[in-house]
Amino acid sequence: MTRKSVPAELVLEYHMTDENPEIGSFGNCPVDPEFTGELEVGVYIDDDTVGAPKELIGKPLQVRLSGTARALEEFGKYLIALARLETGNPTPHDHFEDVKNEYGGMIHLIAERVQPE
């Protein structure tokens, strides 16, 4: 397999407000990505069988995130913006409730940056 590097220029967008961490007020956040309704998540037991949520507990899992090229690109830029966000919030996060569940319905996807252990 050959490895190829392709430079990319990204414009990261943020909503910036005055923060006051002492009182738990955090407003800085990346601008929500477009096209999250074109993303889809599926969760599987890692032996290619499909199971109900309670059947997944304690088993190795496989998570499939798929989407259109534009949805994946926008969500990727959002994740980079979340990783680089300057904030006093120790766990900045956002909720996306329009992501499709591969099995029907919707997924409430939460993207969160956590502190290293």
Residue among 76, 82, 72 at smallest CA distance from 10: 76
Give the residue extent of every domain in the chain: 17-112
Grouping H, G, I as helix, E, B as strand and the rest as coil, residue 43 is: strand
State the maximum Cα–Cα separation within the chain, in Å, rounded to a whole number.
Answer: 52
Q: What is the pLDDT along the chain (117 residues), one digit of tens a residue?
A: 999 999 999 999 999 999 888 888 888 999 999 999 999 999 877 775 655 556 667 778 889 999 999 999 999 999 999 999 999 999 999 999 999 999 899 999 999 999 998
pTM, to two decimals = 0.85
